[in-house]
Structure formats: structure tokens, C-alpha cells
Amino acid sequence: MDAQDTELKKELDAALKARRELGEEYESALVDSFLEKVDLRIDGAVERRVRRQFAEQQVATARGGRAAEERDSWGERFGFGIVSLVLAIPLSAIGTAHADLPGLIVTWAGIVGVNVVQAVRADPSLFGGRLRGRSREGGWED
């Protein structure tokens, strides 16, 4: 129990004691007074929470629009590249078996395309600026 909880409990005890002493005619006023104090406490807690979330959002925006834990690490990008190269071997064999050289070219165009999309997703400024399309906020950019 923190200091504010203790204070609120003391105020509730005082309101109940005052109700016993003053009688039922003052019950409504005592309850209203206590609820006003509870409302102020709730408002303060909500305000602190909103300020904290707003500050976290500003920090995320200052870091490039993504929170630190959302950023791709070098290891994740390296792992994606290794996995795509490992999968390229059987995909190349399948493409060549079904359509010879054109199948191999289409297969590698797909592999390169997936890696380019991954690279741009990790660093949107890779090709000299922002690309058109969906923004991080969920809307569409011009």
C-alpha cells in the first residue's frame, strides 16, 4: 500500500466516522466529498499515464518512428540474408527444372525483390528518401 492509498483510506475512515457523528442527513454531502477526492486521484493517475505515453511516443518519433525494441538489429538482417541464400538453392533448382534459364531468372528476381523489400523496410532512406505508400501511422502518403 503506497502513501496515497493510506491517505485515501484515512479519508474514507474519517468520512465514515463523520457520518456516524452527524447522522444520515449529511451522508450525501460526505459521500460526494469523498468521491470528489477519489475523482481527483484518478484524474491525476490518468494524466500521469497520458504524459508518460506521450513522452514515449515523442522518443519513438525522434528515433525514426520506431521504438528501440522494434528496430532491426544487424544480426536479424544478416540472418534474413543467410536464410534467403539457403532457400535460393532449392528454388533455383526448381525454377531451372521447370523453365530452364527463364525460370532461373524469375526465381532470382523474386529472391532479389524480397531482399530489397527487407532492406527498405529496415532503412526507408536506403534509396534516397521516403517511398510512397503506407505511412507508419497507418495512412497513405502522397
Q: What is the pLDDT of residue 142?
A: 45
The predicted pLDDT at position 130 comes to 54
Q: What is the pLDDT along the chain (142 residues), one digit of tens a residue?
A: 677 778 878 888 888 888 888 887 888 888 888 888 888 888 888 888 888 888 888 888 887 655 444 555 777 888 888 888 888 888 899 989 999 999 999 999 999 999 888 888 877 777 775 555 555 555 445 4
| Closest C-alpha to 44, from 4, 7, 86, 94 | 4
pLDDT at 69: 46
Residue 28 to residue 131: CA distance in whole angstroms: 62
Residue 115 in domain:
yes
In a domain, 113, yes or no: yes
**Dist CA 60 CA 113 (whole Å):** 29
Please provide the DSSP assignment of 23-47 as one string.
Answer: -GGGHHHHHHHHHHHHHHHHHHHHH
In the listed set 62, 82, 100, which residue is the last one of a domain according to the structure? Answer: 62
Range of the domain at 47: 3-62
Whether residue 8 sits in one domain with residue 55: yes
CA-based nearest residue to 60, from 137, 7, 5: 137
